[in-house]
Amino acid sequence: MATPVAAAAPSVSAQTQANAIRALAMDAVQAANSGHPGAPMGMADMAVALWGRHLRHNPTNPAWANRDRFVLSNGHGSMLIYALLHLTGYKLPMQELKNFRQFGSKTAGHPEVGHTPGVETTTGPLGQGLTNAVGMALAEKLLASEFNRTIGDVHHAIVDHHTYVFMGDGCLMEGISHEAVALAGAWKLNKLIALYDDNGISIDGQVAPWFIDDTPKRFEACGWNVIRAVDGHDADAVSAAIAAAKNSADKPTLICCKTSIGKGSPNRANTAKAHGEPLGAEEIKLTREALDWPHAPFVIPKNVLAAWDAKAAGKAAEAAWNTQFAAYKTAFPELAKEFVRRMKGELPKQFNQVAVDAVLAAHTKAETVASRKASQIALETFTAALPELLGGSADLTGSNLTNTKSTPNLRFDLAGNVVKNEAGQGGRHINYGVREFGMAAIMNGVALHGGYIPYGGTFLTFSDYSRNAIRMAALMKQRVIHVFTHDSIGLGEDGPTHQSVEHAASLRLIPNLDVWRPADTAETAVAWAVALQNSNKPTALLLSRQNLPYAPKHGLGDISRGAYVLSEPADVGMKKKAKAVIIATGSEVQLALKAQELLAKEHKIGVRVVSMPSTTAFDRQDTAYKTDVLPKGLPRIAVEMGSTDGWWKYGVAAVVGLDTYGESAPAPVLFQHFGFTPENVADTVRAVLAK
Interhelix angle 351-365/371-385, rounded to 10 degrees, is 150
Per-residue b or e along 418-456, where b marks 16 or more CB atoms closer than 10 Å to that residue's CB: beeeeeeebbbbbbbeebbbbbbbbbbbbbbbbbbbbbb
Q: Which amino acid is at 605?
A: I
656: enclosing H helix or E strand: strand 654-656
* Interval 478-496 mean pLDDT: 98
Closest CA relative to residue 581, chosen from 653, 646, 522, 649: 653
The pLDDT assigned to 10 comes to 52
Confidence at 536, pLDDT banded by 50, 70, 90: very high
Reference 613, options 536, 540, 509; nearest CA is 540
Phi, psi of 345, deg, nearest 5: 80, 20
How much is the pLDDT for 252?
A: 98
3-state helix, strand, coil in the chain (%, to 5): 45, 15, 40
- Encode pLDDT of 190-200 as tens digits: 999 999 999 99
pLDDT digits (tens, 9 = 90+) for 623-646: 999 999 999 999 999 999 999 999
What is the value of pTM for the model shown?
A: 0.97
Residues 6+ apart with CB under 8 A from 440: 456, 466, 469, 470, 473, 480, 482
pLDDT band at 4 (very low <50, low <70, confident <90, very high): very low
pLDDT at 233 over 80: yes
The band of 3, judged by pLDDT with boundaries at 50, 70 and 90, is: very low
pLDDT attached to residue 7: 47
414-426 pLDDT per residue, tens: 999 999 998 899 9
> Contact, 384 vs 351, CB < 8 A?
no
Stretch 154-178: mean pLDDT, rounded? 98
Mean local confidence (pLDDT), 89-117: 98
Cβ–Cβ < 8 Å for 163, 191: yes
Chain segment 572-617, per-residue pLDDT in tens: 999 999 999 999 999 999 999 999 999 999 999 999 999 999 999 9
pLDDT in tens, 34-49: 999 999 999 999 999 9
pLDDT tens for each residue of 206-219 = 999 999 999 999 99
Confidence of residue 11 (pLDDT cuts 50, 70, 90): confident
Identity at 280, one-letter amino acid code: G
Whether 556 has a pLDDT exceeding 80, the answer reads: yes
Indicate the residue type of 129. Answer: G
Identify which of 449, 509, 456, 516 has the alpha carbon closest to the alpha carbon of residue 478. 449
Query: Mean pLDDT over residues 255-281, rounded?
Result: 97
pLDDT tens string 301-326: 999 999 999 999 999 999 999 999 99
Mean pLDDT for the stretch of residues 283-299: 98
Active site includes 220? no
455 beta partners: 481
| Mean per-residue pLDDT, 394-413 | 98
Angle (deg, nearest 10), helices 333-344 and 128-147: 160
Look at residue 575 in the predicted model and tell me its pLDDT. 94
Q: What is the overall mean pLDDT for the chain?
A: 97
Query: Which segments of 545-631 does DSSP mark as H helices, in order?
Result: 588-603, 615-619, 623-629
Give the DSSP per-residue string, 83-112: HHHHHHT-S--HHHHHTTT-TT-S--SS--
Q: pLDDT (tens digit, 9 = 90+) per residue, 333-342?
A: 999 999 999 9
Is the separation of the CB atoms in 566 and 591 below 8 Å? no
User: Given a cut of 60, is residue 127 above it in pLDDT?
Assistant: yes
Q: Which of 140, 179, 283, 436 does the annotation list as catalytic?
A: 436
Secondary structure element (H or E) that encloses residue 163, with its range: strand 163-168
Looking at residue 659, what is its pLDDT?
98
Beta pairing class for 149-151 and 154-156: antiparallel
Average of per-residue pLDDT across 344-372: 98
Q: How far is the first Cα of the chain from the last one, in angstroms, to the nearest whole number?
A: 76
461 pLDDT exceeds 70? yes
pLDDT beyond 80 at 8: no
C-alpha 408 chain-centroid distance? 23
